[in-house]
Structure 1
């Protein structure tokens, strides 16, 4: 009898749990990344605007930005010649997701070398 009551109370407790909400706010992030690789969906400026909107909406909803948003935005800024904003977003990605530091450093070095080759 006691075992049945414990099992029943556990079952009721599990059923009463609130469904978890998503950890991150994605917004149009997937569409922007798809467009980046597809090259004919959105212009780079539209992709930048979409990613900045994801960041702003996430902040307004009190949600975290998913991994990769700042890295993608950094790459777009580098490709558009804005090294300062590119570096800022790469550093933001590293700060938010320290496990990505090695990869972000690789991207940062590649982006800087690419920019040097274009100016020489």
Structure 2
């Protein structure tokens, strides 16, 4: 009977199918591309709140500008919040014009941030 022959080879088939799906799953994980470029942004935020003073505004500005350049070079959009954080750092430095520019960039890239950005812009206007 052919059924007994098929049963003899079934462990090989099961191993083959299992190996195939395992390789497929691993390949899918390795090929995942990030939606946004995060760079050092998360580390800056972490350091800012956990270790206050670990990165002054000048260092953060430099790091964020570098991250933005890397994102552009790789043609990956920057993560939400990067331009807003950069605007905040410029405000701390007293560079109001550049701060407004970064806030507007954040609002343009992420329209859902409009309420937050408008509030930040209003506070910035009040500091003049």
- The bucket for the TM-score relative to the shorter chain is 0.7 to 0.9
1:43-95 C-alpha deviation (Å, 9 max, x unpaired)? 11001001101100000111110000000000110111101100000000000
Q: Residues 1-16 of structure 1: matches in 2 within 5 Å? A: 15=24
Tell me if 1:97 matches 2:100.
no
- Aligned 8 A contact 1:71 1:93 in 2: yes
Q: Which residue of 1 aligns with 2:87?
A: 74
Q: Which residue of 2 aligns with 1:5?
A: none
TM-score, normalization by structure 2: 0.73
**What RMSD in Å do the two structures reach over aligned CA positions?**
2.0
Tell me if 1:62 matches 2:75.
yes
- Aligned 8 A contact 1:74 1:90 in 2: yes
1:20, distance to aligned residue in structure 2 (A): 2.3
1:34, distance to aligned residue in structure 2 (A): 2.6
Tell me if 1:23 matches 2:46.
no
Matches of 1:40 and 1:74, distance apart in 2: 18
Moved more, 36-45 or 66-75: 36-45
Matches of 1:83 and 1:111, distance apart in 2: 7
* Larger of the two Rg values belongs to structure: 2
Is there any run of 5+ residues in structure 1 with no aligned partner, and where? Answer: 1-7
1:36, distance to aligned residue in structure 2 (A): 3.2
1:31, distance to aligned residue in structure 2 (A): 1.9
Matches of 2:90 and 2:96, distance apart in 1: 7
TM-score, normalization by structure 1: 0.77
Tell me if 1:51 matches 2:64.
yes
